[in-house]
Amino acid sequence: MQFVNFVSSIAMPLVILIIVMYAFMEKIKIFDTFLIGAKEGINIVITIFPTLVGLFLAIGALRSSGILDCIIHFISPILNQFNFPTDIMPLALIRPISGSSSIAVATNIMKTFGVDSQIGLMAAVIMGSTETTVYTITVYTSSIGVKKTRFVLWASLLADFVGITTSIIICKMLGG
């Protein structure tokens, strides 16, 4: 354990030292290169900022409107037919949209049911096996100017569905 702590404490300084040594050997002006990268980063932020504001506004409206509760109430009878735990549905619906909201939902699930409960384990596995799809697609496609994301969105949402479903099946099989 001490070795892991030692490696983790020297990792970043070692990486910085290697970069500086490489730049010195190759006669690269480190600060000038850093400034060029920082300017490019600011341009990317300016490019994607309006998209992010719209996405965050939509997420806020979705969370505060109560539409998630309405959707869960509507599809609960169908989910019960497949023995799908409805307590995990808020996480399954919000995870592809927002990372911070899904962390809040997962934390609430774990506080309510316990971290070692089957629902708590399902929430943890879902958090680890899925992505904030809409956010990721928004950031990456808007930073490079892609406008047609329909097929990317459907493929990504399908992958999230598979990840969520597989998480639940495996947690039930393992008897968590």
Read off the pLDDT of residues 143-170 as tens digits, 9 standing for 90 and up. Answer: 787 878 778 888 888 999 999 999 999 9
User: What integer is the mean pLDDT of 17-30?
Assistant: 92
In tens, the pLDDT along 114-138 reads: 989 999 999 999 999 898 888 888 8
Tell me the CA distances in angstroms from 70 to 63, 79, 90, one per residue in order. 12, 14, 11
How far apart are alpha carbons 30 and 20 in whole angstroms? 7
Instruction: Provide, rounded to the nearest whole percent, the portion of the chain with pLDDT above 90.
Output: 39
How far apart are alpha carbons 165 and 92 in whole angstroms? 9
Structural domain count of the chain = 1
The secondary structure of 47-98 as a DSSP string is: HHHHHHHHHHHHHHHHHHHTHHHHHHHHHHHHHHHTT--GGGHHHHHHTTT-
Amino acid 151: pLDDT: 85
User: What integer is the mean pLDDT of 93-102?
Assistant: 85
How far apart are alpha carbons 1 and 69 in whole angstroms? 45
User: What integer is the mean pLDDT of 72-95?
Assistant: 89
Model pTM score: 0.67
Instruction: Report the range out of 65-69, 115-119, 172-176 with the highest average pLDDT.
Output: 115-119
Question: Tokens for 123?
Answer: 């929430």
User: What integer is the mean pLDDT of 95-123?
Assistant: 89
Given a cut of 90, whether residue 71 has pLDDT beyond it is: no
Domain extent at residue 23: 2-174
Amino acid 176: pLDDT: 53
Amino acid 64: pLDDT: 80
Given a cut of 70, whether residue 54 has pLDDT beyond it is: yes
In tens, the pLDDT along 32-43 reads: 999 999 999 898
